[in-house]
């Protein structure tokens, strides 16, 4: 069944729709887990806020995640030590560990199938890379563990293990935490002009605005069309497969991820840059047939992630010149933990408090990274590609996705149904597919 396991086993309640013009001190745009957590923290502070969502709360990528809550984000810490130094690397880890602890605390009163697990990054190719990562983590005081083998159906060169990480049911969590928040669904933001936000349901005037729309949709500020690209990921849920007793991911981008939910095993990836051809579910099904021949596929689904230039999220002021406009994006496939970290950081920033993590995640940090030039080449090539089917975001040529029957933009990841109806931003209107 083409449906995520989470959507099949939980329902997020409906919220009201904006019926008139409104005014608020704090406006959050986007009803995924990041936006909802921002709203939750602001409500805890007792301030005047509202959240608007163009569709339904949890209807986007939050409902299509693999729902791992971990500060282990691939083999990133050795890289961070080399690129941003020990102090900022330590702060990066600490911010995500605090996010994990906040989930653990909230899960005491929210029935969301929260389970503590080991998280592991394994390599089938390089023991040296694993050892370097462990050395990096120990140098900043984190008790990473080395494993020669994992409960997976193949041999590995080694793995880095993080103790006391977690997994959960994201929509059960989102449903409960959002039920008393000031949320307006089916209220689609079309434009922001200073403190004025134009929606298809009315005009909102806001003192401060948080853009938590997955991919930031304002092109005139922040250069996110250069700083981000989007990547598709694929997943299948199997019954009668193994209990891997942890959450694991391959250090190789073409590798697999594993976690269980109840008696189901979730396998992921097979994806890559949106708008490109991928192995998708075929790779996952081929592996499952070989490794778990008695298993049966119950669900299959796909997700989309924003990838930053340097592997670090963008959390903070939308740009240097927008003191009252904020953003959270570029979670690099680790959206659950990063969303919580972002919400806690943004709460402090919009309330005028100091936050020790803001410089690590500042969206205004240097963009002179190799990925910048790759993004620019991809955009230029697609702008010049001869096609009448164009993305309304910036005019790139759309590519047909035969597995999901969608039109996808290879530049910035907007996606459209066969008839041109918008699925994923940064586009804010349907595509004309004449």
What is the CATH number for 117?
3.30.9.10
CA 103 to chain centre: 16
Please name which of 227, 272, 305, 254 lies closest in space to residue 401, comparing C-alpha atoms: 272
Q: Is the backbone of residue 76 left (phi > 0), alpha (psi -120 to 50) or beta?
A: alpha
Name residue, tokens 């694991």: 248
Q: Are residues 290 and 234 in the same domain?
A: yes
What are the backbone angles phi and psi of residue 2, rounded to the nearest 5°? Answer: -80, 85
Q: Is the backbone of residue 387 left (phi > 0), alpha (psi -120 to 50) or beta?
A: beta
Can you give the pLDDT at residue 184?
98
Residue 174, Cβ neighbours under 10 Å: how many?
24
Does residue 77 form part of some domain? Answer: no
Q: Are residues 279 and 400 in the same domain?
A: no
- Whether 271 shows a pLDDT value over 90: the answer reads no
- Whether 115 shows a pLDDT value over 80: the answer reads yes
Name residue, tokens 């997976």: 152
Q: Are residues 157 and 241 in the same domain?
A: yes
Can you give the pLDDT at residue 374?
87
Does residue 341 form part of some domain? Answer: yes
The domain that contains 382 carries what CATH number?
2.102.10.10
Q: Are residues 146 and 235 in the same domain?
A: yes
| Domain finish residue from 264, 285, 307 | 307
Q: Using CA atoms, how far apart are residues 59 and 413, in angstroms rounded to an integer?
A: 17
Does residue 81 form part of some domain? Answer: no
Q: Are residues 39 and 150 in the same domain?
A: no
- Whether 434 shows a pLDDT value over 80: the answer reads no
Q: Are residues 383 and 249 in the same domain?
A: no
- Whether 1 shows a pLDDT value over 80: the answer reads no
Q: Which DSSP symbol is given to 348? A: H
The residues, ordered by sequence, that sit 6+ positions from 187 with a Cβ below 8 Å of its Cβ are: 17, 18, 52, 53, 54, 199, 200, 201, 202
Q: Are residues 149 and 282 in the same domain?
A: yes
Q: Are residues 356 and 395 in the same domain?
A: no
For 65-104, the pLDDT digits (tens) are: 999 999 999 999 999 999 999 999 999 999 999 999 999 9
CA 102 to chain centre: 18
Does residue 179 form part of some domain? Answer: yes
Q: Are residues 10 and 123 in the same domain?
A: no
- Number of domains into which the chain is organized: 3
What ranges in 45-193 are assigned the alpha helix state H?
77-106, 127-139, 170-178
The two three-digit tokens of residue 384, written as one number: 């010049």
Can you give the pTM of this predicted structure? 0.96
Can you give the pLDDT at residue 379?
85
The two three-digit tokens of residue 413, written as one number: 């990841």
- Which helix (H) or strand (E) covers residue 9, if one does? helix 5-9
Name residue, tokens 């981000």: 228
Q: Are residues 209 and 237 in the same domain?
A: no
Can you give the pLDDT at residue 50?
98
% helix / strand / coil in the chain, to the nearest 5? 30, 25, 45
Q: Using CA atoms, how far apart are residues 274 and 304, in angstroms rounded to an integer?
A: 8
For 16-71, the pLDDT digits (tens) are: 999 999 999 999 999 999 999 999 999 999 999 999 999 999 999 999 999 999 99
| Domain finish residue from 361, 385, 401 | 361
Does residue 157 form part of some domain? Answer: yes
Q: Using CA atoms, how far apart are residues 26 and 115, in angstroms rounded to an integer?
A: 33
Q: Are residues 391 and 274 in the same domain?
A: no
The residues, ordered by sequence, that sit 6+ positions from 265 with a Cβ below 8 Å of its Cβ are: 237, 238, 239, 241, 242, 243, 244, 258, 259, 292, 295
Q: Which residues constitute the domain of residue 43?
A: 5-66+172-225+310-361
Please name which of 311, 321, 328 lies closest in space to residue 224, comparing C-alpha atoms: 328
Can you give the pLDDT at residue 376?
85
Q: Using CA atoms, how far apart are residues 107 and 85, in angstroms rounded to an integer?
A: 34
Does residue 98 form part of some domain? Answer: no
The domain that contains 333 carries what CATH number?
3.50.50.60
The dihedral formed by the CA atoms of 18, 20, 25 and 30, expressed in degrees to the nearest 10: 30
Q: Using CA atoms, how far apart are residues 47 and 329, in angstroms rounded to an integer?
A: 24
Give the largest CA-CA distance in the chain: 60
Does residue 429 form part of some domain? Answer: no
Does residue 90 form part of some domain? Answer: no
- Whether 388 shows a pLDDT value over 90: the answer reads no
| Domain finish residue from 285, 307, 329 | 307
What are the backbone angles phi and psi of residue 90, rounded to the nearest 5°? Answer: -65, -40
Please name which of 195, 280, 294, 278 lies closest in space to residue 238, comparing C-alpha atoms: 294
pLDDT, the chain, mean: 95
Q: Are residues 145 and 13 in the same domain?
A: no
Q: Can you tell me whether residue 281 is helix, strand or coil?
A: helix
């Amino acid at each position: 069944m083409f449906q995520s396991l989470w959507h099949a086993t939980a329902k997020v309640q409906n919220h009201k729709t904006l019926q008139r013009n409104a005014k608020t001190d704090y406006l959050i745009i986007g009803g995924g887990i990041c936006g909802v957590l921002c709203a939750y923290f602001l409500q805890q502070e007792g301030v005047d806020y509202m959240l608007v969502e163009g569709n339904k709360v949890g209807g986007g990528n939050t409902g299509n995640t693999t729902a791992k809550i971990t500060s282990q984000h691939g083999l990133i810490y050795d890289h961070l030590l080399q690129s941003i130094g020990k102090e900022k690397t330590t702060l990066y880890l600490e911010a995500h560990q605090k996010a994990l602890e906040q989930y653990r605390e909230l899960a005491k009163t929210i029935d969301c199938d929260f389970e503590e697990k080991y998280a592991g990054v394994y390599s089938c190719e390089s023991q040296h890379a694993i050892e370097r990562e462990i050395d990096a983590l120990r140098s900043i005081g984190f008790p990473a563990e080395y494993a020669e083998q994992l409960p997976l159906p193949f041999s590995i060169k080694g793995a880095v293990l993080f103790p006391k990480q977690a997994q959960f049911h994201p929509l059960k969590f989102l449903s409960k935490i959002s039920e008393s928040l000031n949320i307006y669904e089916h209220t689609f933001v079309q434009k922001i002009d200073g403190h004025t936000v134009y929606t298809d349901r009315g005009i909102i005037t806001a003192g401060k605005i948080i853009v938590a729309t997955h991919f930031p949709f304002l092109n005139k500020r922040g250069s996110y069309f250069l700083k981000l690209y989007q990547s598709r990921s694929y997943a299948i849920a199997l019954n009668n497969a193994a209990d891997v007793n942890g959450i694991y991911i391959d250090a190789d981008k073409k590798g697999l991820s594993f976690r269980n939910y109840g008696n189901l095993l979730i396998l992921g990836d097979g994806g890559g840059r949106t708008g490109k051809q991928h192995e998708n579910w075929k790779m996952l099904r081929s592996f499952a047939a070989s490794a778990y021949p008695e298993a049966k596929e119950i669900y299959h689904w796909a997700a989309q992630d924003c990838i930053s230039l340097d592997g670090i999220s963008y959390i903070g002021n939308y740009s240097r010149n927008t003191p009252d406009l904020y953003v959270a994006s570029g979670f690099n496939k680790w959206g659950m933990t990063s969303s919580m970290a972002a919400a806690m950081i943004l709460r402090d920033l919009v309330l005028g408090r100091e936050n020790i993590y803001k410089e690590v995640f500042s969206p205004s940090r240097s963009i002179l990274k190799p990925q910048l030039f790759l993004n620019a080449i991809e955009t230029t090539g697609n702008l010049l590609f001869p096609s009448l089917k164009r993305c309304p975001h910036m005019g790139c040529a759309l590519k047909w996705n035969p597995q999901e029957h969608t039109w996808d933009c290879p530049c910035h990841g907007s996606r459209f149904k066969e008839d041109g109806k918008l699925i994923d931003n940064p586009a804010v209107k349907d595509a004309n597919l004449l």
